[in-house]
Amino acid sequence: MIDVAYVALGSNLGDRAAYLTRARAALAALPNTEVIAESSIEETQPLGPVAQGAYLNQMVALRTSLTPGELLDRLQAIERAEGRTRDVRWGPRTLDLDIVRFEHQRADEPGLRVPHPELPNRDFWQRELSELGVDR
């Protein structure tokens, strides 16, 4: 099944813009996947209790035949390739890739909920989806 997935990109360590650039290239290189739209990049304040620097965030739309679980596995591999570690929950990161939603698929399993449960709480995701023409 071909569907459209919306993936949030974020970075608040090192060369944040370069991490987003490499992430977009890696997403475009995924099998059976095409980047069909990109929101503007915006700077946002971090969420959560850990003191850290501001993020650069962006949303991309992917036309893909990957399932939500397959896409999640690929996103985590891209994060690891860019030096992402998961030491501190809500902590700073080189690259954060989140599946925000799919147009037609849902998932509710350990480690993967689509649409993302934090979507209602993240104004910047809502703005970025709106920029891509998505009605939440």
Cα distances from 131 to residues 48, 74, 76, 87, in angstroms, run 25, 25, 25, 33
Report helix, strand or coil for 33: strand
Q: Among 16, 74, 93, 101, which one carries the catalytic annotation? A: 93
Q: Judge whether 45 and 54 are in contact, CB under 8 Å.
A: yes
Catalytic, 84? Answer yes
Q: Judge whether 60 and 101 are in contact, CB under 8 Å.
A: no
Please give the radius of gyration of the chain, using alpha carbons only, rounded to the nearest integer.
14
Q: Among 16, 74, 98, 122, which one carries the catalytic annotation? A: 98
Q: Among 96, 123, 127, 136, which one carries the catalytic annotation? A: 96
Catalytic, 87? Answer no
Q: Among 22, 24, 63, 84, which one carries the catalytic annotation? A: 84
Catalytic, 16? Answer no
Catalytic, 74? Answer no
Catalytic sites, residue numbers: 84, 93, 96, 98
